[in-house]
Each structure stands twice: as C-alpha cells, then as structure tokens.
A and B are shown apart, each in its own frame.
Chain A
Amino acid sequence: MRADAVRVDRVLGGVLACFGLGVIALAARLPAATAADPVGPRGFPTLLGLVILSCGVGLAIGSRTAPPADAAPPDDVEPRGAPAPRPLLGAIGFTALYLAVLEPAGYLLATPPYLAALLLVQGRRVTARAFLLTVFALPAALYALFAVAMRVPLPTGPLEPFLRGF
C-alpha cells in the first residue's frame, strides 16, 4: 500500500515537473521585463512554473513532506467502491452534449433527458419516485427559483411562446 502511494507520488511528481517546465516554456514567449516594469508579463508565470516544477521534483524524488500531525491521512477512510470509469466518462459526455443543446432546446426541454441520462449511466438502482422527482420536479423547481423568482434569463427554446408570461 505504502509502495503504491510512493509510486503514484513519483508519477505525479513527474507530471507536475513536466507541467511546470511547460509553463516556463510558454511563459518564455511572453513580453520580457522592462526598466519600468522589472517583472513584466513573463515574470510571474515563470515564477509559478518554477514553483510547480519544484513541487514536482520534491514529490518525484521522494522528499514528499509528511502531513502535519493534526491533519494526517485518516484512519477511518470512508469505504469507497472501485473506480467506475464508465459513469464518469458517460457523465462528462452527457454534460458536453447538454451544453450543446441547452440553447436551441431550452432549459426545460434539455434538462430532464440530461438528468435521466445521468441517473441511468450510473447503473445504480433508484426508486421510481426518486427518478421522477429528479428528472421532472427538480428542473421545474430550479426553473421557478432562478428564472421566475430571481429573473435569470434561462434559455427557453421552442417553449418561448408558452413561458413569455412568467
């Protein structure tokens, strides 16, 4: 377990160090410092790249600092299942799709199928009541709160003629 954690930290350290180097390389293309502005647009990002690079090197070479005694890793780690990549990737994909159809379809038409897809992609049983409440009652309640009560102009899509009075 400890060996796994060290290995993960080494890989993370490597990734961080590469990221830091990337930031420094990209920052090098920015305008340099001048006499009037000794840091310039390039200085601060370069400094941050160096900090990230140092953190990465620190992790990778195993000098990972121990957490403070009052915030050490927990004893009673909440039991979590194995990683579930399918629901995760599905949710990301459905969210991207939702954003693509949100404006043309409108909030009230786009949200119920999105919520149904999010529930189904998790592959876990929910009661019919919970399903119906999540898919239909929740979007309606949020619409009432934000669009009606707080006057946030959420997209209406084809329902525009019916929602104009609200």
Chain B
Amino acid sequence: MDWGSLGAGFAVALRPDSLVAMLIGLAWGMIGGALPGVSGPFSMAVLLPFTYGLDTGLALMLLAGVWTGANYGGSIPSILIRVPGAPSSAACIPDGFALTLQGQGAKALGVSLICGCVGGLLSVLVLMVLLVPLGSAVLAFGSPEIFATTLFGLTVMSSLAGSGVAKGVAAGAFGLLLTTVGLDQIAGSPRFTFGRVELLGGFDLSAVLVGFFGIGEMLYQLAYPASAPDLVDRKVGTSLPTLRELRGLWRATMVGSVVGMIIGMIPGAGGPVSSFVAYGEARRWSKRPELFGKGSMEGVAAPETANNSDQGTALVPTLLFGVPGSASAAVVLAALILHGVRPGPFLMQQRADLLWTFFAALLLVNTVLMVPVGIALQRLCMRAVIVPPPALVAGVLALSTLGAYAGNLSLAEAAHALVFGVVGCLMLRFGFPIPAVVLGMVLGFTMEGEFRRSLMMSFGSPMIFLRRPIAAVLVGLTALLLLRPVIARAGAGGRRPAGGPRPPAEAVRSA
C-alpha cells in the first residue's frame, strides 16, 4: 500500500469542501435509499449531471457518500415495511421485517448500519492493497484481453439479471447499440444520426442513466401503482448493537464481508447477487440456522455487510479495466468518463492522486461519517419511507427531468432522457434488465474500440481472441455463462432447474 499517496488523499478529503460534499452525498444517498423504489444507482445517477461544474475529486467524493449512504438507506424500508429500498437490500427483508414485528426493528437498523460500515471498511482496505500490484499486472493487457474482459463483464450482468439469458443479452446489446450513435470513433463518419446535428456527439451518458434508472422506473410506478406504505412501529429508532452483540455476529459479518468482496471483484456481478449469496452462506455457517427467516440478527448482518463490502472490490475491475463490478460502480465509471478520466490499466499511473483521494473519501465515509449521519438523519429517513407514492413519483420524475436537462443545459438531452424513460418503462414491464442496458452504454465505447483494434492487429482474424491465453479463458467463461441454462437443463434431464432461495419481486425487477 502506498501510505504517502493515501496521506495526500486524506489531506484533500479532509478539506471542508470535501467533507461537505461527502456529507451531502451521504444524506442524499440515505434519504434516496430510504424511498421505496428509488435505487442506489438512481440516487447516484440523478446527481451526476449536477457534478459537471465540480472538480473531479469533489464529484467522486460526493458519489462515494451517495453510494455508501444508499446502501444503508435501502435497508430501512426493507427492515421496517418489507419493501426493498434498493435491490441489494432485499436479502435482509425476511429477518429484518420479522425483527420489526418482534419489536426489534431499531436493533436491526443498528446492526445494518454497523455491519455495513465494517464491510465497507474491509472492502476499501482490500481495494487499496490489491490495486497497485494488480495495476502493474494488467499493464500486460492488450486490446484482445480488454475486449474479452468487457464482454465477460457485460455477459455476467446480463445473464445474472434474473430475466433469462435472451432478454439479458438483448438488453446489453441494446445498450452497446446506443453507443454506436454519433461519429464513429476510428473512421469519424456519422452513424445512425438520421441527419440530426445534436446526435453527432452521441447520446449523453448521464441523460441515458437518468432516463433508464429514474424516469423509466417512475413511469413504471405510474402505470403499476404501488400501495401506500405504512410503518408497523412509528416510533422505531436506531439502536446500535453492543460489543457483546457484535461479537455474536462476527461469523455472519465475516461471511458477508468475504462473499461481498469476492463477488464484487467479478465484473458485472456485484450488487444484489452478493447480498443473496451472503444470506445463504451465513445460514449455512450459522450455529442457529433455524432462526433464519424468523428474525435472526445474523440474517440482517450478513447481507448488509455483503451489500457494502462489494463496494470497494467492485472498483477493482471498474478502475483497472473500465468494467464496473456493479450498477453503482457503473455510475462511478460514468462519472469518471464524464469528467474526462478514462479508467484502464494506465489510470493508476496517470491519475493516482485522484484515486487515492477517492479511497480516502471511502474510508472516511465508512468509518467516521456514516454512523453519526445515519443516526442524525434517522427521523428524516423514516419520513422518506412513508412518503405517499403519488408524491414520490411526481417528485422523482421532476428531479430526473431536471437532472437530464441540467447536465449540459440541453433540452435535447432532456428529451432523449424522456424517450429512454419510456423505453425503460416498457423494458421493466416485459422483464428486460435495465442495469444491463446501462452497462452496455458505459462499456460500448471501450468494447467497440478494443474489438476493432484487436482485429486490426490480427488483420481481420477473430482467432486472436483464442490464441491469447487470458482472452481465451475469458471468452470461454463468457460462452459457458451464455450456455449455462442449456447445460443446467440438460443436467436436469430436460426439466427446468429447481428454484433455490428466491429474491423478492422488486430485487428481480430492478437488479
């Protein structure tokens, strides 16, 4: 670990303007996360256009706060009203809500807060330890390897989205297709612009993110209105666990941390997957597995730890390859791209100062700021949980529309966001995974560029992806992922595989 760079990062992160950015981000993320149906990636994406005028470091610190805050905020409605505030918080519903019914909702919220901080802290430490050596190793990556990595990441997210491989892959391909609009990156000729000058530069990334994550989700909620939420216990607060209680949760916390960190590192796999796997593993390792689903504090601790512990490691593929580990990491990647920073093997050499400032901010948010802000905003978050759905939909729709406009003060981009919102609403209706579209949009430029450069190197022979060992392994894994359902069905004798533990509807829909 580079202690000198970390110290310099802390010097920037401890400046008053940086602290204000992190506090605003945390508050925004927690309240946004607590709003039922408003996901963490959306809370981050809608702020993205407003960061155009900010210094890149400040923008990243703001997003670090939103990301961490949204992870905790999402658990509040999950625990209190059995509605996931974010897809990754859905795994704690069975035990969190059971604890609320038993009058222990406050303690469950406290466990979520503290375990989330532990997971986040460990994950950022692992990120800092891994990034420098891995950064040196990936310098050997050429165009074929980078293309294969992006292909693998997109396939992971598409095929794990719970919508079936065909819909997932189609959604990812649609996202990639959106990046082909505008001037061709190598030849410079216009593509799919239909003579419209405003399309020459392509679609604005933040308008697409706001359109799909924000406007699309709200239009879906308008078409399929949710019932008004209500709190079982209106006086519930946040009660931090004692050291003795935390000792009893160490096993679940460690399981959650390890699972979250490992899954976070797989390109495209982070987010809800880590929480659900951690829940299952914690039950397997628990001394009292029979309590899971009936109000086990371990059933809250494990997924909430995993939820935060995939944060740091999801940044490993994001920063090294430009392939985000989760939907939230995709928004961080989008923020970097929008601020003119292109992630990849050389980022650690070119913008080390920026990265260490970001890591310092993540450490500060997870260790020092998260708990006091979580307790201070507890009443506000409770109010957010029970915001009437019509007011929530109207407010978020207006905010999204404004966000799409404010990025470049462009009505055309806001109109694009509205169109993407309508498309997103239709995709949600018919079960297409939105994060796969967004990931495709984020990866498209890199993927096409590296694909074309690879074939230039091989004079047009696609065998280059099989002749180079790393690329061949990744292409093989991608093929396995795509064929997984066929293999599983063949293994089950033509029957569909039996269902395991199933995530709730909201998680499947928006994850």
Contact = CB atoms under 8 A, between A and B. Distances in A.
B414 interface: yes
A3 interface: no
B455 A138 contact: no
A48 B401 contact: no
A68 B452 contact: no
Contacts of A49: 177
Interface string A49-62: 10110011011000
Given A39-B451, A83-B223, A134 B160 contact: no
Interface string A22-52: 0100100011010011111101110011011
Given A48-B173, A76-B504, A88-B222, A68 B191 contact: no
A144 B186 CA distance: 43
B86 interface: no
A6 interface: no
Interface stretch (B282-290, B296-304, B405-413, B466-474): B405-413
Given A65-B164, A84-B224, A56 B504 contact: no
B165 interface: yes
Interface stretch (B111-119, B232-240, B363-371, B481-489): B481-489
Contact of B498 (A55, A69, A74, A87): A69
Interface in B146-190: 159-167, 169-170, 173-174, 176-177, 180, 184, 186-187, 189
B191 A45 contact: yes
A67 B163 contact: yes
A109 B437 CA distance: 35
Given A23-B177, A69-B499, A92 B186 contact: no
Contact of A124 (B176, B191, B273, B389): B389
Interface string A73-91: 1111111110111011001
Contact of A38 (B224, B430, B460, B485): B460
A93 to B, nearest CB: 10
A88 B390 contact: no
B394 A99 contact: no
B353 interface: no
A70 interface: yes
Contacts of A56: 166, 170
B367 to A, nearest CB: 26
Contacts of A70: 273, 276-277, 500-501
B476 interface: no
Contacts of B486: 65
A71 B508 contact: yes
Which of B165, B422, B484 is the most central at the interface, judged by chain A CB atoms within 10 Å of its CB?
B165
Contacts of B53: 150-152
A4 to B, nearest CB: 12
Contact of A84 (B225, B227, B415, B500): B225
Nearest to A11: B430
Contacts of B250: none
A interface, over-half SS: helix
Given A31-B187, A45-B191, A66 B488 contact: yes
A23 to B, nearest CB: 7
A43 to B, nearest CB: 7
Which of A38, A56, A59, A146 is the most central at the interface, judged by chain B CB atoms within 10 Å of its CB?
A38
Contact of B50 (A98, A134, A150): A150
A96 interface: yes
A128 B17 CA distance: 38
A130 B388 contact: yes
Interface of A: 8, 12-13, 16, 23, 26, 30-31, 33, 36-41, 43-45, 48-49, 51-52, 55-56, 58-59, 64-81, 83-85, 87-88, 91-92, 95-96, 98-99, 102-103, 107, 111, 114-115, 118-119, 122, 124, 126-127, 130-131, 133-134, 138-139, 142, 146, 150-155
17 contacts: A30-B184, A31-B184, A33-B460, A43-B452, A55-B170, A55-B173, A65-B165, A76-B505, A78-B226, A78-B506, A95-B401, A102-B405, A103-B411, A114-B398, A142-B402, A146-B402, A152-B50
